[in-house]
Structure 1
Amino acid sequence: MGKNNRHVDILLRQAQQQWRCVIANDQTERMALIRRAQQGKVARPYRGLYVDAAYWQTLNPSQRIIHLARTLCETHPTWVFAGPTAAALYGYDHPWSIHRAGLYIADSVNATGRRNATPLNRIYMPDIPVNVINGIRLTSPARTLLDCGLILPFGMGLAIFDAALATHTVSKKDVLDLCDHIARDCTPVMRLLRYADPKSENSGESTMRGLIVEDGFMVPDLQRVFTNPQNSQESYRVDFSWTLGDGRILVAEYDGMAKYTDPSMTGRQSVKSVVNRQVQRERNLLAWGASAITRLDYDDIINRQSAVDKLVRLGVPRGAPPFV
């Protein structure tokens, strides 16, 4: 028993180091892993896959999907990961909620879903454009964007389009050309191509911009620079800005929680210090040309009306939504 336990420990540790799950090689390993799963020490995120439960809890949904894909490509070498799963494998910044539906693979025969511990979704495509990264087969960047655009809500799709375009490995023309060769209504993809902007710095900003567009507000400029008129070496970039016909400049900043809690972003300052710095930043922006400022955050994405109310109070022009 002791020897078996040590062997399982080694398997789990090696898998963790390699960013994958464990696949039992024989009945002895399988039974040992099942016993640990019954004890709550091992998680089974997909049929036949095992991973240390405590370690699994430290992973975000995107990291979990990558672990599954890296493992399943060994047992299913012909699989080609697609859509949201391929977006994660490419490293495109995205909202983690895109993985709630589970894994996506390309299928040249049918497009059925099958239930496992994690659902498996098949995206039909008669000709599968295959790219290989670190031994994992996935759809080309253009095909990945096209499928994400057809599957996901506008804001989530916009985040992936923004991130992919920022890598300079795929262009809007690549996606547009692909739309001309598939028998699908690509209207949602065309909308994304119209509004996608690689200047967006993260998926939160992109998703918020999607909300702004969907609710009929004037499309903001991204990453506008405000410079201290007394010192050209001092400047700030803002997430969203609108220049109105009367010359006023409105500003909205998107605050992810990491701005307050992630040491790599806060310079290990306390929350109070970060907030004080932001107050000073707003004072400077108002002195350097901004007419009014509002702050948006993830809660405003969840509670859409909250974001709408803030933008209305800020004075952002709003007309009829550009699309339903």
Structure 2
Amino acid sequence: MGKEARERIEARLGEAGSRGSCFAATEAADLIYLRRLIKKERPRSVFEPYPKLFVKADTWQALDRGARALFIIKGIAELHPHWVFFGPSAALIHGMPVSWKDLRKPYVVTSSSISDAEKAQLVHRSSVKDELCLCQGVRATSPVRTLFDCASRLSFQSALAIADGYARTGGLGAEELCDDIRMRFRGQRGVKRVAAICAHADGRAESGGESIARAVMIQQGFYLPELQTPLPDPIDPAKMFRADFAWESKKGIVLGELDGAKKYTMSGDPLDALRDERIRESRLTAYGHAILRFSYAQLLPRNRTEFVALLEKFGVPRGPKPRFVDGVPVKKTVNYAGWRGMPLLCAFNGLGRHGSNEIEFGYAAAHRIAA
């Protein structure tokens, strides 16, 4: 291939990357050239993460797993414009928080035949039961159908993150979301499980990590924290901080902070972000409350014992572990010291309401933390 053709492919790789997509090699000559380049070149300047999809190595290495999955999805959409994405792939397209472990394979709907090479790298089905939409130039199931598909098949933790994201985007409370799910999907397989998960949803969670942390707390019987509790900066009261989690225990107020790399890598200088976070933590400490810091790694199954021990050490209130139905916690815990206990999930008997004796953690209690 001549210099002009090589420059053309380089330009196409760059254009695709700027769109947040892999380059789809639909022409045989491009496909042959790129695969020969990958075979011969060391170190590689181009990767093929999915059959017939290519991306510059430096671009690929700078992406996290979620961004890589989206690059592949957009590339597949160019290869197969008639395919529809569902499940975790559709959730990612819609901007919902998706656990990376659920993005190992794209989820597609297609009635056409699939090559063996692609079949091994896909989760696919042949039909879709709901309306479709176009998002980021990609055909996908609607947001509510995506929520239903994910909550009916994913783990409680993964599904709760997506339900929280949907509730946050739509400005919905758990009760309203449950009612909507039962009405839209009445009689469909999995609706009781989905409604039970949505009964735990809270749109105040600002990240998938916070949702997964709360899911682990629920599974282990810890009382629900207040989310995103506002606290005035003790040095400059005009400014407000927000604690990711807050509990009132017998030992006093406990503030929980999920530490994540994204806090330091999303934009700007990572050192500046780290410095700002340390200043924020020091000022929260001025209130005299215990600050429980933990990382996403501590939420993983292999480290969960450590996370539970950490919550117990800080005196986070805990009741008995809930009863599970189809992998979803459905048992109510006892309220404690004016704090909201675990929601009473009656989705499995058709009610889906929070307990009438549940005490909401409100404005006055938030000010008690800052006092």
Q: Same fold (TM over 0.5)?
A: yes
- Residue number among 173, 179, 182 corresponding to 2:185 in the alignment: 179
SS in 1 for 2:238: strand
Residue matched to 2:304: 304
What amino acid sits opposite 1:322 in the alignment? P
Residue matched to 1:138: 140
Distance change (3 Å), C-alpha of 1:25 and 1:300: closer
d(CA) in 2 for partners of 1:113, 1:197 = 41
Residue matched to 1:204: 209
d(CA) in 2 for partners of 1:68, 1:312 = 42
> Deviations for 1:83-102, whole angstroms, at most 9, x for unmatched residues?
110111111233333212x1
What is the identity percentage for the equivalent residue pairs of Structure 1 and Structure 2?
29
d(CA) in 2 for partners of 1:142, 1:284 = 43
Q: Is the 1:226–1:285 Cα contact (8 Å) retained in structure 2?
A: no
Query: In the alignment, is residue 193 of structure 1 matched against residue 195 of structure 2?
Result: no
Q: Is the 2:243–2:255 Cα contact (8 Å) retained in structure 1?
A: yes
SS in 2 for 1:8: helix
Please give the residue correspondences for 1:153-302 in structure 2 after superposition, counting only pairs within 5 Å.
153-168=155-170, 172=177, 173-182=179-188, 184-227=189-232, 232-233=237-238, 235-244=240-249, 248-259=252-263, 261-262=264-265, 264=267, 268-269=271-272, 271=274, 273-274=275-276, 276-286=278-288, 290=289, 292-302=290-300
Q: Is the 2:251–2:315 Cα contact (8 Å) retained in structure 1?
A: no
What amino acid sits opposite 1:175 in the alignment? I
SS in 1 for 2:244: strand
d(CA) in 2 for partners of 1:152, 1:37 = 36
d(CA) in 2 for partners of 1:114, 1:169 = 43
> Deviations for 1:116-154, whole angstroms, at most 9, x for unmatched residues?
397211246552321112432110111111111123222
d(CA) in 2 for partners of 1:293, 1:197 = 22
What amino acid sits opposite 1:2 in the alignment? K
Q: Is the 1:106–1:122 Cα contact (8 Å) retained in structure 2?
A: yes
What amino acid sits opposite 1:20 in the alignment? S
Distance change (3 Å), C-alpha of 1:124 and 1:317: farther
Distance change (3 Å), C-alpha of 1:231 and 1:65: closer
d(CA) in 2 for partners of 1:70, 1:2 = 28
Please give the residue correspondences for 1:17-166 in structure 2 after superposition, counting only pairs within 5 Å.
17-38=18-39, 39=41, 40-100=44-104, 102-106=105-109, 116=118, 119-123=121-125, 127-166=129-168
Q: Is the 2:24–2:76 Cα contact (8 Å) retained in structure 1?
A: no
Residue matched to 1:3: 4
Report how far residue 25 of structure 1 moved: 4.0
Any unmatched runs of 5+ in structure 1?
none
What amino acid sits opposite 2:124 in the alignment? R
> Deviations for 1:236-271, whole angstroms, at most 9, x for unmatched residues?
321111235x69432211111233x33737784274
Report how far residue 81 of structure 1 moved: 0.5
Distance change (3 Å), C-alpha of 1:69 and 1:210: same
Report how far residue 176 of structure 1 moved: 3.1
Distance change (3 Å), C-alpha of 1:274 and 1:266: farther
d(CA) in 2 for partners of 1:124, 1:27 = 28
SS in 2 for 1:204: helix
Distance change (3 Å), C-alpha of 1:211 and 1:123: farther
d(CA) in 2 for partners of 1:214, 1:115 = 39
Report how far residue 218 of structure 1 moved: 0.7
What amino acid sits opposite 1:54 in the alignment? D
> Deviations for 1:5-60, whole angstroms, at most 9, x for unmatched residues?
22221221222122222233433222111111212332111112222222222222
Distance change (3 Å), C-alpha of 1:128 and 1:249: same
d(CA) in 1 for partners of 2:154, 2:143 = 16
d(CA) in 2 for partners of 1:323, 1:143 = 27
What TM-score does the superposition give when structure 1 sets the normalisation length? Answer: 0.84
Any unmatched runs of 5+ in structure 2?
325-371
SS in 1 for 2:307: helix
What amino acid sits opposite 1:53 in the alignment? A
What amino acid sits opposite 2:313 in the alignment? R
Q: Is the 2:210–2:258 Cα contact (8 Å) retained in structure 1?
A: yes
Question: 293-302 or 69-78: which moved more?
Answer: 69-78
What TM-score does the superposition give when structure 2 sets the normalisation length? Answer: 0.75
What amino acid sits opposite 1:150 in the alignment? S
What is the aligned-residue RMSD (CA, Å)? 3.1
Q: Is the 2:292–2:314 Cα contact (8 Å) retained in structure 1?
A: yes
Q: Is the 2:298–2:304 Cα contact (8 Å) retained in structure 1?
A: yes
SS in 2 for 1:5: helix
